[in-house]
Amino acid sequence: MKIFVVNCGSSSIKYQLFSMADETSLAKGILERVGTGNATLHHTAAQVGFDKDVDVPDHTAGMKLILETLVDGEAGVIKSVDEIVGVGHRVVHGGEELTRSSLIDEELIAVIRRNADLAPLHNPPNLAGIEAARRAMPNVSHVAVFDTAFLSTLPPKAYRYAVPERWHAEHHVRRYGFHGTSHRYVTLATAKLLGKAPDEVNLITAHLGNGCSMTAVSAGKAVDHSMGMTPLAGLMMGTRSGDIDPAVALYMISRGLSAQEVDEALNKKSGLLGVSGLGNDMRDLLVAADDGNERARLAVDMFVYRIVKYIGAYHAVVPDLDAVVLTGGIGENSRPVRRGICEGLAGLGVVGDEDRNQATIRGKTGPITADDSPLGVWVVPTNEELMIARDAQAIIAGSAV
Ligand code: ADP
């Protein structure tokens, strides 16, 4: 059974083809700068990759090109597109209505379109991808997997903001959360590693990539989460501020910035980039900090401090914790950041194990704490695409997810 996974941005299509019998990835890639006149395809199959300049005016042409590449004589991994039995689509915002992965039909498309106000940068390109893929593969089932779905179990006391009730009732202002597919994947994987049933495990999961978020998981369900109505809230990120006093935005407008400039600054010029002035890549900041760059050091210290603070808060919410789980590019690889997190959690009894921390990188799974640490910190690589493929497979087979 082969499942194709699609993640469409406004000018990009990320894709991956899975063979579900053994959950292996047969091919993956990204088509970038769709519609700009100088699109490129980066495609990898059997560990061999290539880059190619291509002529792709829109998502429909892009999808056609990707499918042709999958069946291409030399680089191809399947004989015919008919081998693909289903397609899983990443959709960022399910809003309040779409709380689980679902088969795509006209009605579902209408709801995703309605939710576009909540995710204007993401849902419209996600829909463009759905339409292009349905056109290219009209005879197979297409399934939508929502970033927000795993976080739909938050109780009202966690998802409501203390703002006028009408803002929620009329404008749907509330915490939704994002990265849910990643948090769900590592929750299920960690439950398995710890020998617990998925609905028994209590975790704090931290997705630390360019975007960063944290989820408190009780009995396998999300009960609190750091991102908000938009992905701007919570932890410090590559270019996003995370939590700030909301009055700062209004104050900067009173100092002469437009609302759009403030939005741009908080989303694209803040976080690690804003504080360090150097960039948003944690690797570069760690090198600079070691070389004595004080702004880089401060950016890293703030990043770690915010994570430690959130873990403390979520531990209070989920006292009976089985583990803290780190994932995403930084969580899976950045040894100094992980060491800082373990040291920062000493007050909660965490005892780091530096040998384990050094050894657990590049896709490895395992604890980075000592066996006798009262609270374990684990590194569990995420795989959102596989989670999407699993959901598509289950839904096509008629099971609930
Ligand atoms: P995205 O959220 O875009 O998927 P990733 O999960 O790939 O991003 O994470 C990107 C971040 O991971 C960057 O800050 C990058 O510096 C960091 N990262 C990746 N590999 C390493 C590494 N070996 N050491 C430190 N940081 C790393």
Atom from ligand 1 closest to the CA of residue 280: 14
Closest-CA residue to 180 (of 224, 244, 238): 224
Atom from ligand 1 closest to the CA of residue 382: 6
Closest-CA residue to 16 (of 8, 7, 27, 24): 27
Start-to-end C-alpha separation, the chain: 18
Going residue by residue through the chain, which has 401 residues, state the pLDDT in tens, using 9 for 90 and above.
999 999 999 999 999 999 999 999 999 999 999 999 999 999 999 889 999 999 999 999 999 999 999 999 877 899 999 999 999 999 999 999 999 999 999 999 999 999 898 888 899 999 999 999 999 999 999 999 999 999 999 999 999 999 999 999 999 999 999 999 999 999 999 999 999 999 999 999 999 999 999 999 999 999 999 999 999 999 999 999 999 999 999 999 999 999 999 999 999 999 999 999 999 999 999 999 999 999 999 999 999 999 999 999 999 999 999 999 999 999 999 999 999 999 999 999 999 999 999 999 999 999 999 999 999 999 999 999 999 999 999 999 998 78
Reduced 3-state DSSP string for 141-153: EEEEEECCHHHHH
168, 96 in Cβ contact below 8 A?
Answer: no
User: Which single residue is written with the structure tokens 């369900």?
Assistant: 221
Concatenated DSSP letters of 331-348: HHH-HHHHHHHHHHTGGG
253, 262 in Cβ contact below 8 A?
Answer: yes
Distance from the alpha carbon of residue 276 to the mean position of ligand 1, in angstroms: 16
Tell me how far apart the alpha carbons of residues 163 and 97 are, in angstroms, rounded to a whole number.
22
User: Which single residue is written with the structure tokens 């995703």?
Assistant: 112
Which protein residues touch ligand 1 with a CB less than 6 Å away? 209-211, 238, 281-283, 328-330, 333-334
Pocket test for ligand 1, best of 7, 28, 178, 210 (most atoms within 8 A of CB): 210
Residue nearest to atom 27 of ligand 1 (CA): 330
pTM: predicted TM-score of the whole model, two decimal places: 0.96
Distance from the alpha carbon of residue 292 to the mean position of ligand 1, in angstroms: 22
